[in-house]
Chain A
Amino acid sequence: MTAMTEREAATAMTKRQPGPSLRGWFQDWLPRLVLAPSFLLVLVFVYGFNLWTLFLSFTSSKAFPTTNLIGFTNYLRLWNWTFETDPPSNWYTALVNMGLFGGLYIFFCLFLGLLLAILLDQKIRGEGILRPIYLYPLALSFIVTGTAWKLFLDPRIGLENALHDWGWTSFHFDWVVDPKMMIYCVAIAGIWQSSGFVMAMFLAGLRGVDGEILKAAQIDGASTYQTYRRIVIPMIRPVFFSALIVLAHMAIKSYDLVLSVTGKNPGGAAELPSTFMYSYTFTRNQMAIGSASAVIMLMTIAAIMVPYIYSETREQNR
């Protein structure tokens, strides 16, 4: 009798009939319980930490975090530094460099990426060899890229020296040791590293364009240039948008490339918001100022990414 009921109970359990039993409740909630740790981690370590940094930016934290609130003082100081050009404040330099580096990096990555993608899309022999060559820098860390480009641009042994050796003795290229020009070297190394990726994005876009449309354009007598200018490039406009977002995001986050190309950013000549944040927080004991600059970086990225994520997820659902 008892054995019977036990077996019945067991059958009922394996069938997992809905009921107020603890086991049934557990089974219903199991998926959510599996997801919960990850979600909690993100909640605490992403959202919680961002709020914590936001809080710190309103305190007078120096070497260690404090809870002494001082209002917008840190932001006011950054705001004043923004216009302090003579001598330039570190924050002013960081913002100017961000504009220079970001602008050059985004423009040339888009330009070279599109050019390479269009060239590769012309029924090329050996595309399978060329494409990986354009893409491999992506596998390298920015520190490796920076180390390589530092040698390459070093006037004593790099490009300048090599061209002198070949007889072009008037050639002069010492940007990497010139504080005023360092940021351009960072941009060169960055473009070298990332343009292949943009090429891949554009190539995917080009390959997705219907071949019939191109044929129709040809039959109508459009030249290759016209076909690209008026038909293909407008059709892949979403790729421009995606690439722009990704590049802007990478430019704002870039940190290690500056350090490795310039050799630890001597005198703050190649300062970017990312290096500014790090040095104020961890070496100059101005943690509150560092937090305020981090918040500004976060806001900038959020302003770029949130509408983008929103539109992307909406398109996916459609």
Chain B
Amino acid sequence: MSAADLVTSTPSRRGPGHSRTTRIVIYGLLFLFALVYLVPLLVMVMTSLKPLDEVTGGNMFALPRHLTFAPWSMAWGEARIGVSDTRGISGYFFNSVKMVVPAVLISTLLGALNGYVLTKWSFSGHKLVFGMMLFACFIPFQSVIIPMAVILGALGRIGVGLADLTGWSFGLGNATVNLVIVHVIYGLGFTTLFFRNYYAAFPSELVKAAMIDGASFFQIFRRILLPNSTPIIIVTVIYQFTNIWNDFLFGSTFAAGDTAPMTVALNNLVNTSTGVVEYNVNMAAAIIAAAPTLLVYVIAGRYFVRGLMAGAVKG
């Protein structure tokens, strides 16, 4: 049983019994903390459903008197994101989707192949290779961001040249492609770590038997390893999805203007509002930005926690 399973499994019936007063204190504290964690979300939702005068003139804990969905449609379709952009966050939401889907799929597939090689086809020096790849999980991105900007700039110029020659830039210089590249590379450490640890526990006898039967490298991977990898695939996909969707540093550095991902657009929306801060619109936009990852958390919280624990404890 992994560490995360210990968290998400039903608690065992053990531990000391408590007096009535102690139990009341325990439940009181737990309830109080639950409120502390929940209230900001509740205030966000309530604020997003109020007209602006109720936000600025009323109590933030009060329920909306005039329920309105205008801030939501405002945030989605009309809010001011940049100097000239008043089309809301919808376009940026889809920028994020276009970035996150390929980045998650590619980094997960590469991580699975790497984990497979490192555990079932290990060669001398495989520990060193793995150790070196692990370090990719922990570097502060500040220390790679300048060279990355230089390289992506060069790729962009190559893309312009190619477009002049062939009429197509092959995706070079496209902000979404750039972000996919960046997120795949800096996600490789984690995806490799997840699959390597999972496949290390996978019986090698099965792989050996298949080898003797003449199955090829990729046949073994596709027919034997992959069908038994569903849990770790879910964990990895969720982990990568959450991290890439929530990224801000890379998005704000490598994708400007119309091509920015959701988090960057949200930050721009919040900070460019002129005059009165339209908190209700900001909150609606923030909830929209948080919705995909929250949804994943609600649907598959168990796997979500497992990924976090694997990424942290066994890092």
Interface residues of A (CB under 8 A from B): 14-16, 27, 30-32, 34-35, 37-39, 41-43, 45-50, 52-53, 56, 65, 112, 115-116, 119-124, 127-128, 130-144, 147-152, 154, 156-159, 161-162, 165-166, 192, 196-197, 200-201, 203-205, 207-208, 211, 214-215, 218, 224, 227, 242, 246, 249, 252-253, 255-256, 259-260, 263-264, 273-274, 277-278, 281-282, 287, 290-291, 293-295, 297-298, 301-302, 305-306, 308-309, 312-313, 316
Chain B nearest CB from A105 CB (Å) reads 15
Separation of A67 and B304 alpha carbons in the complex (Å): 45
B18 interfacial by beta-carbon distance below 8 Å: yes
Residues of B within 8 A of A306 (CB): 135
B141 interfacial by beta-carbon distance below 8 Å: yes
From the candidates B17, B142, B146, B246, name the one contacting A140 in the complex (CB within 8 A): B246
B12 interfacial by beta-carbon distance below 8 Å: yes
Contact (A274, B117) CB under 8 Å given A143-B263, A196-B37: no
Q: A38-B110, A208-B6, A252-B140 are in contact. List 13 more A-B contacts (CB 8 A).
A: A31-B117, A35-B129, A122-B26, A123-B13, A128-B10, A133-B34, A135-B297, A141-B289, A141-B290, A144-B289, A151-B279, A273-B142, A309-B131
Residues of A within 8 A of B27 (CB): 124
Chain A interface helix/strand/loop/mixed: helix
Separation of A52 and B29 alpha carbons in the complex (Å): 51
Separation of A301 and B114 alpha carbons in the complex (Å): 25
User: Is the pair B60, A200 in contact by a Cβ cutoff of 8 Å?
Assistant: no
Question: Which of B97-105, B161-169, B223-231, B264-272 lies at the interface with chain A?
Answer: B264-272
Residues of B within 8 A of A30 (CB): 217
From the candidates A132, A156, A255, name the one contacting B56 in the complex (CB within 8 A): A156
User: Is the pair A151, B147 in contact by a Cβ cutoff of 8 Å?
Assistant: no
Residues of A within 8 A of B77 (CB): none
User: Is the pair A134, B34 in contact by a Cβ cutoff of 8 Å?
Assistant: yes
- 10 sampled A-B residue pairs with Cβ under 8 A: A46-B186, A115-B29, A116-B33, A121-B11, A121-B15, A148-B283, A204-B3, A298-B139, A313-B134, A316-B314
From the candidates B8, B16, B114, name the one contacting A38 in the complex (CB within 8 A): B114
Chain B interface helix/strand/loop/mixed: helix
Contact (A192, B248) CB under 8 Å given A42-B133, A253-B141: no
B206 interfacial by beta-carbon distance below 8 Å: no
Chain A nearest CB from B131 CB (Å) reads 6
Contact (A274, B140) CB under 8 Å given A31-B117, A124-B26: yes
Contact (A137, B37) CB under 8 Å given A34-B117, A46-B139: yes
B209 interfacial by beta-carbon distance below 8 Å: no
Contact (A35, B113) CB under 8 Å given A27-B217, A65-B146: yes
Chain A nearest CB from B237 CB (Å) reads 14
User: Is the pair A295, B143 in contact by a Cβ cutoff of 8 Å?
Assistant: yes
User: Is the pair A151, B148 in contact by a Cβ cutoff of 8 Å?
Assistant: no
Residues of B within 8 A of A47 (CB): 132
From the candidates A115, A166, A215, A274, name the one contacting B142 in the complex (CB within 8 A): A274
B245 interfacial by beta-carbon distance below 8 Å: yes
Separation of A121 and B129 alpha carbons in the complex (Å): 40
Residues of B within 8 A of A45 (CB): 144, 148, 185-186
Chain A nearest CB from B238 CB (Å) reads 10
Question: Which of B63-71, B81-89, B170-178, B305-313 lies at the interface with chain A?
Answer: B305-313
Chain B nearest CB from A317 CB (Å) reads 8
User: Is the pair B30, A14 in contact by a Cβ cutoff of 8 Å?
Assistant: no
User: Is the pair B293, A140 in contact by a Cβ cutoff of 8 Å?
Assistant: yes
The interface bits of chain B over 18-61 (1 if a CB of A lies within 8 angstroms of the residue's CB, else 0) are: 10000000110110011011101101100100000001101111
